[in-house]
Structure 1
Amino acid sequence: MELRQLEYFVAVADEGGFGRAAGRLHVVQASVSQQIARLERELGVRLFDRTTRRVGLTAAGEQLLPEARAALASAARVGQVAAEIVSGRQGVLRLGTARAFAERVHPALDALADQAPGLRVRLVQDTRERRIDSLRSGESDAALVRGGRPLPGLAMVHVWDDPLFIALPATHPLAALPRLEPADLAGLPLRLAPRDRNPAFHDLVTGLLRTSDTDVPPGPHFTTLQETLAAIATDAAGGSPSWTVFDLVGELPPARRIAFRPLLGSRSPVSLAVRAGPLSPAIRQLIAALETAAVRQTRTHSSPVGGGA
């Protein structure tokens, strides 16, 4: 059974004759007759009573006509939905993300829902490595990642920057400065997570220090932001000051005996990783929403997450 046969069936029923149906369909009458006869053979029922004066539906034809109309409507809907998916107005985007990005992502999704109500974004929180693996395997359509360096087989689209902030003991002389440069921190032990936990962030920080020709000794490893801040305050009281650095994407955390200072001239880029090739309309809409939300939030407020994304 073909959709064309159902279309001919409905046309004959609506027009009350094969000739008028052929005119409506812009085909010859013989073609209409052939397709109706073929449909009747496939269904095993007679659809029309044919006389020299009129063509009318049989009882079976009357019962099958609503089903034929519904089938044609469903087929048209399939085409309409497909067109909306192609245009980016409808569909499902599977986005790999991390908790650290939530403050940027959720406002962007709200904006996207207003622009394209039929386009849904399914968030999948995972580690950076698994986000990238899922993207390469086709399990996700895009992934937010810290950093902007190219990844094999993927394209990186920069969507926002997070400022970097320093946390150091409030009693340290550097805390008197309104902002710090990497060179100011020379000789002060740095609490940084191991590279295998977060290569992009580790490389960003060490790259900043290397570019400024700043030598800092390694301190104990960064664990979580709150634990690390508590350790900095405790160790400073014991005469062993140290510092750490984190991405600021919200409001500063409450921390006693800790001073927070912006790291001058530094930014932590966040990119949307996608498979190489032309960007789909849906991905372009997502990128625009992420960029817009980031700009709006930068103008209003910011809050930290400890560099683990």
Structure 2
Amino acid sequence: MELRQLRYFVVVAEESGFGRAAERLNIVQSAVSQQIRVLERALGVTLFDRTSRRVRLSAAGERLLPEARAVLAAADRARDVVAGILAGTEGVLRLGTVQVPGDRMYRALAAFAALAPRVRVRLAKLPPAERLAAARAGELDAVLVRALPPGRTAGLESVPVWTDPLYAALPEAHPLAGEPRLRLEQLAALPLRLAPHERNPPFHALITHALRVAGVEPPPAPPFTSLQATLAEIGVGPPSWTVFYEVSGLPPAPGVVFRRLAGLTVTTSLAFPSGPPAPAVRHLLRACAP
């Protein structure tokens, strides 16, 4: 049974004749008759009672007619859904997320909902390396990642969407704590707590590149673990510092001060598989625009 045959069957039933059905379908009458016979053989029933004067539905045809209409309506809805998916107005967008300051993410999702109200957003929270791997594998349609270089990189395209300042956290008793802003060169002698490369490759690369450009190589320190634990150790342990970005305000940390790093920012990018972005991803890029 084919959708074309069901469509011919419905039109013949509505027109009460093969000739008028052929005119409406804009095909020859013999083609309509042939397809109806094929459908009857496939179903094993007679759908029309035919005489030399008229064609009318058989009992089997009367019973099948509402079901055929329902099947055709479902097929039309499926085509509409597929067309919407291709246009980016239907479907599911699988998005890997990051924590961002304030209500930025909520505003972006609200703007996306206004652009594509029938697209559901499925959020996934993964560590940066796993987030990027999921995008490369096609398991996520797009991911938000900090410090990812713009353009094409390792099977992904990335487009910058937000930029935020970076902060240094250092002991409040340190001589540099009185400075309103700090340059990396000023921190050259203070041991740096930085998460290992594998924890967050883009951010690690951003900081190590900035240090190289500044011509400084701070002494090593125990690695950054979590922000809360690292700040606690900076506040009470041997002098050291770390660099971080704000996600929910500057955290309270006894014995620690925060200072903006001059000339150093972190950019959050939207990354997606290489090639032109899918329509839903294009909507998301518009929604993330300032």
| TM-score for the superposition, normalised by structure 1 | 0.86
* Residue equivalent to 1:4: 4
Confirm whether residue 242 of structure 1 aligns to residue 258 of structure 2. Answer: no
Deviations 1:218-248 (A, max 9, x none): 222212111111111112xxxx322111012
Partner AA of 1:254 in structure 2: P
* Residue equivalent to 1:257: 255
Decide which of 149, 156, 172 is 1:170's aligned counterpart: 172
Shift, 1:67, TM fit: 0.7
Alignment check: 8 A CA contact 1:99 1:125 kept: no
Alignment check: 8 A CA contact 1:103 1:250 kept: no
Partner Cα separation in structure 2 for residue 264 and residue 273 of structure 1: 27
Partner Cα separation in structure 2 for residue 86 and residue 93 of structure 1: 12
Confirm whether residue 224 of structure 1 aligns to residue 222 of structure 2. Answer: no
Matches within 5 A, 1:1-309: 1-98=1-98, 104-149=104-149, 150-235=152-237, 240-289=238-287, 291-292=288-289, 295=290
Deviations 1:170-209 (A, max 9, x none): 2323222221111222212222122232222222112212
Shift, 1:272, TM fit: 2.3
Partner Cα separation in structure 1 for residue 269 and residue 228 of structure 2: 26
Partner Cα separation in structure 2 for residue 29 and residue 121 of structure 1: 49
In structure 2, do the counterparts of structure 1 residues 37 and 196 end up closer, same or farther at CA, with 3 Å as the change threshold? closer
Partner Cα separation in structure 2 for residue 138 and residue 209 of structure 1: 34
Shift, 1:249, TM fit: 3.0
- Single out whichever of 110-119 and 128-137 deviates more from structure 2: 128-137
- Single out whichever of 84-93 and 117-126 deviates more from structure 2: 117-126
Shift, 1:102, TM fit: 9.6
Structure 2 portions without partners, runs of 5+: none
Deviations 1:235-288 (A, max 9, x none): 2xxxx3221110123311122232111111111122222221121111111222
Partner Cα separation in structure 1 for residue 32 and residue 199 of structure 2: 69
Partner Cα separation in structure 1 for residue 136 and residue 212 of structure 2: 32
* Residue equivalent to 1:300: none
Partner AA of 2:30 in structure 1: A
Structure 1 portions without partners, runs of 5+: 296-309
Superposed structure 1 runs of 4+ greater than 3 Å apart: 97-107
Partner Cα separation in structure 2 for residue 251 and residue 99 of structure 1: 12
- Higher share of residues assigned helix: 1
- Single out whichever of 224-233 and 269-278 deviates more from structure 2: 269-278
| TM-score for the superposition, normalised by structure 2 | 0.91
Alignment check: 8 A CA contact 2:96 2:144 kept: yes
Alignment check: 8 A CA contact 2:90 2:118 kept: yes
Partner Cα separation in structure 2 for residue 111 and residue 100 of structure 1: 16
Deviations 1:8-48 (A, max 9, x none): 11111111111111111111222221111221111111111
Partner AA of 2:79 in structure 1: G
- Single out whichever of 79-88 and 105-114 deviates more from structure 2: 105-114
Shift, 1:136, TM fit: 2.5
Alignment check: 8 A CA contact 1:167 1:261 kept: yes
Residue identity (%):
56
Alignment check: 8 A CA contact 1:40 1:47 kept: yes
Secondary structure at the aligned position of 1:144 is classed as strand
